Amino acid sequence: MGQAAVAVKFSAADFLAWDAGQTDKHEYLDGELVAMAGVEDRHATVALNMAMALRQHLRGTPCRTFIADVKLHVEAANAYFCPDVFVTCSEADRASPLIKREAVLVVEVLSPGTAAYDRGDKFARYRQLPALREIVFIDLDARRSDVFRRTEGELWDLRSFGAEAALQLASVELTLPAAELYAELDH
How far is it, in rounded angstroms, from Cα 92 to Cα 140?
Answer: 34
- Is 12 part of a structural domain of the chain? no
The predicted pLDDT at position 107 comes to 98
Range of the domain at 132: 39-181
Whether 106 maps to a domain, the answer reads: yes
For the question of whether the overall pTM of this predicted structure is more than 0.85, the answer is yes
- Would you state the pLDDT for residue 38? 66
68 part of a folded domain: yes
64 occurs within a structural domain: yes
Q: How many domains does the chain have?
A: 1
In a domain, 164, yes or no: yes
Residue 176 lies in a domain: yes
Left if phi > 0, otherwise alpha if psi is -120 to 50, otherwise beta: which for 95? alpha
Residue 65, domain member (yes or no): yes
In a domain, 33, yes or no: no
pLDDT values of the chain reduced to their tens digit, one per residue, 187 residues: 444 444 567 778 877 777 787 777 777 777 777 767 767 889 999 999 999 999 999 999 999 999 988 999 999 999 999 999 999 999 999 999 989 999 999 999 998 888 998 999 999 999 999 999 999 999 999 999 999 999 987 799 999 999 999 999 999 999 999 999 999 987 6
Check which CATH number belongs to the domain holding 69 and give it. 3.90.1570.10
